[in-house]
A and B are shown apart, each in its own frame.
Chain A
Amino acid sequence: MQPLIRVKNVRKIYRMGDERVVALDNISLEIYKGEIVCFLGTSGSGKSTFLNMVAGLEKPTRGEIYIGNIPIHKLNEEQVTLFRQKNIGFIFQAYHLMPMLTAIENVSMPLIFAGMEKKKRIKLAKNALAAVGLQGYENRKPTQMSGGQQQRVGIARALVGIPKIIFADEPTGNLDTHTTKEVMELIVSEVRKHNQTLILVTHDRSIANYADKVVTIQDGNVLKIEEKQKEGDKR
């Protein structure tokens, strides 16, 4: 099977004044469609940098990144934005909802940017909110919701366009243990339902338990890759 994401010899160096900081040394790996992959590492290990590069938010200093057949490392900002709009959903640690918009408006945002007509997108957004268990919260603003609820809105926003790939950077970093469990189970079940690919980035080992594959990053290199045999449903 052709891998969905191919990363080849990616290296990233930041310049901090005169000093050169190697964020990623040399990373190569492949991710398949429908996989839930967790990148585990301490702060400063380079895991977030890696995610940013796969999402096209940063360009690698060297190396190649393909999603499907598209060379992400070669696209300009305009193209990469369009690609993200169509193929990628984002879940953030700090939720990043628009404070002046209601839950349903927030969930609609990606569809608004894609230019979808109002009737259609309201319906989709409503369904997405229902899927994360937030019926009746459509017209609440972020300030009127708890952290867990806000993150559910964030998840609904990432999922509403049914993108091929979901990126989640420390999605539970701001949540308590109980809510973390709920949110993670929600993300995983939704992603599995639509056979989407999920890329998780975290420093929390317990989160890694939800993944099919755990990639441990240390000092900009892949330390180890653990594949899990989960209930025998491994492809």
Chain B
Amino acid sequence: MNFRDLLSLCAKNLMRRKTRTLLAVIGVMVGTCAVVVMLSIGFGMTKSYEEQIQNYGDLHMIELYNYGSGMSYGSPQEQQGVISDKTLASIEKMDGVTAVTPVVTAYMTIGIGKYVTTDEIVGIKPDVLKKFNYGLQEGRYLNNADKDALVFGSYIPQWFYNPQSKNYDSKEQDVITDKIILTADYEYGQKPQSGQTDDNKIEYKQYKMKGVGLLEEQNDQPDYRVYMNISRLEEIIKETQKAEGTKNLVVPGQEKTYERAYVYVGDINDTERLCKELKDLGYQTSSPIDWLASLKETANMIQGILGGIGGISLFVAALSITNTMIMSIYERTREIGVMKVIGANLKDIRRLFLMEAGLIGFIGGVIGVLLSLLLSFLMNTVLRDIISIALSSFGAYGTTISIIPLWLVAAAVVFATAIGVFAGYSPAKRAMNLSALESLRNE
């Protein structure tokens, strides 16, 4: 018996009991639709989470902390997670890492003429700034020869003000200049307060600096930071501590360690893996990807629950197919017998019933998917406002509520058909094993 004849016979059989077939088809349709719509909402949530994460920060960047900083004197295993030039060099060799730099920061005052601003000065290895892909509005990145050179975040120029003016006199400064003074003295540029004795006044040094670059706007931390050569910044910090008399204890003979470091990942798909690998090496890490991971977990969980609800209805649909097929076989016992007597192979009988069940699944699946596409469209347009209120309680504020990828369309139809065939398997086997004699007996 060839496939086309089989198909036409199945179709004719299904048409005989239109209502029953229709009910079974509706069952599959509802089940498929439930699964697809539920999953599509999950996909929509995942997407909206991803959109939100883009605003949280740079997914390329992993910030590294010295685990238990300052306490890492003892035994070698406690040395785990220490940030030193040596460990950073090995991190740089890790797969996916584009740039690594230790980080030292200090809050210092920057003066251009009578205008000043106090900002976070970030000391890094000069050559990595370029690799961080921040982009330049003006000037250039730092290079290894730069010592007294600064690269500014995009907001900094607007923050200069004149501390001597009575009104708050703020004026945007051109930072690409060599008339910059950097100092740890927060009172720099202010009028000396009269009546105050200067006995305890700390003599902060003033460093002459040169502005070489202005970064593009990042909508992130780099916008309000000033970058410079780490070794120069360390010198300045040391001299400042000396002036303040708060010199840090340095254990002689110990390797120099850093509190923090930046690890720049070339492809954001590697970020999560690298975070984990670095954690395994004993580092404390922080990256916007952590947020994404936990949000994705939420999305997966919600998707699982929603998909499960859909799955239950599909399971019920499968039961109804089985039931339909069993009923149909009871009804057609004689017919099956006659078919056997007039030459149907056992396999033909089985295929006939499997195909009928599969056809119910297939038709239900196709209609279910079409219905899901319609529902998805409605959810993204007419019903969007109502549904987004409900979804915002899970922290998803995306613009698209339901996303049905093409593979889901195909998978849903295939799955529905498979469910039909699966549900029809036991009835088909029963039909196959029916005695041909039944046809002649129950006259």
Write out, one digit per residue, whether chain A residues 120-143 have a CB within 8 A of any chain B CB (1) or not (0): 000000000000000000000000
User: Quick check: is B339 within 8 A (CB to CB) of the other chain?
Assistant: yes
* Complex contact B5–A112 (CB within 8 A): yes
* Complex contact A92–B440 (CB within 8 A): yes
Tell me the bound Cα distance from A100 to B11 in angstroms: 10
Q: What is the minimal beta-carbon distance from A90 to any residue of chain B, in angstroms?
A: 5
Other-chain residue from B2, B16, B343, B435 in contact with A81 (beta carbon distance below 8 A): B343
The residues of A that contact B12 with a CB separation of less than 8 Å are 100-101
Q: What is the minimal beta-carbon distance from A89 to any residue of chain B, in angstroms?
A: 8
Q: What is the minimal beta-carbon distance from A146 to any residue of chain B, in angstroms?
A: 19
* Chain A residue at minimum C-beta to C-beta distance from B344: A113
* Complex contact A57–B348 (CB within 8 A): no
* Chain A residue at minimum C-beta to C-beta distance from B15: A100
* Complex contact B440–A48 (CB within 8 A): yes
The residues of A that contact B344 with a CB separation of less than 8 Å are 81, 85, 113
Q: What is the minimal beta-carbon distance from B6 to any residue of chain A, in angstroms?
A: 9
* Complex contact B338–A92 (CB within 8 A): yes
* Complex contact B343–A57 (CB within 8 A): no
Q: What is the minimal beta-carbon distance from A36 to any residue of chain B, in angstroms?
A: 21
* Chain B residue at minimum C-beta to C-beta distance from A96: B338
* Chain A residue at minimum C-beta to C-beta distance from B11: A100
Q: What is the minimal beta-carbon distance from B321 to any residue of chain A, in angstroms?
A: 20
Other-chain residue from B339, B341, B443 in contact with A94 (beta carbon distance below 8 A): B443
Q: Indicate whether A52 sits within 8 Å of B440 (C-beta atoms), given known contacts A101-B12, A115-B2.
A: yes
Highest count of chain B CB atoms <10 Å: which of A90, A113, A158: A113
Write out, one digit per residue, whether chain A residues 84-102 have a CB within 8 A of any chain B CB (1) or not (0): 1100011011101011110
The residues of A that contact B342 with a CB separation of less than 8 Å are 84, 89-90, 109-110, 113, 157-158
Tell me the bound Cα distance from A87 to B169 in angstroms: 110
The residues of B that contact A94 with a CB separation of less than 8 Å are 443
Instruction: Assign chain B's interface to a size class.
Output: 20 to 34
Q: What is the minimal beta-carbon distance from B350 to any residue of chain A, in angstroms?
A: 12
* Complex contact A57–B345 (CB within 8 A): no
Tell me the bound Cα distance from A90 to B334 in angstroms: 14
The residues of A that contact B343 with a CB separation of less than 8 Å are 81, 84-85, 109-110, 113-114, 161
* Complex contact B334–A81 (CB within 8 A): no
Q: What is the minimal beta-carbon distance from A9 to any residue of chain B, in angstroms?
A: 22
* Chain B residue at minimum C-beta to C-beta distance from A87: B343
User: Quick check: is A78 within 8 A (CB to CB) of the other chain?
Assistant: yes
Tell me the bound Cα distance from A100 to B437 in angstroms: 22
**Residues A23-53 near B (CB distance < 8 A):** 48, 52
* Chain A residue at minimum C-beta to C-beta distance from B443: A94
The residues of A that contact B435 with a CB separation of less than 8 Å are 57
Q: Indicate whether A52 sits within 8 Å of B437 (C-beta atoms), given known contacts A92-B338, A100-B16, A109-B339.
A: yes
Tell me the bound Cα distance from A57 to B337 in angstroms: 10
The residues of B that contact A98 with a CB separation of less than 8 Å are 335, 338
* Complex contact A113–B440 (CB within 8 A): no
User: Quick check: is A200 within 8 A (CB to CB) of the other chain?
Assistant: no
User: Quick check: is B91 within 8 A (CB to CB) of the other chain?
Assistant: no
Cross-chain pairs A/B with CB under 8 angstroms, 15 sampled: A57-B440, A81-B346, A84-B342, A85-B343, A92-B338, A92-B440, A93-B443, A94-B443, A96-B334, A98-B335, A98-B338, A109-B343, A112-B9, A157-B342, A169-B440
Residues of A within 8 A of B (CB): 48, 52, 55, 57-58, 77-78, 81-82, 84-85, 89-90, 92-94, 96, 98-101, 109-110, 112-115, 118, 157-158, 161, 169
Further pairs besides A78-B345, A112-B5: 6, Cβ < 8 Å: A57-B435, A81-B344, A85-B343, A92-B338, A109-B342, A112-B9
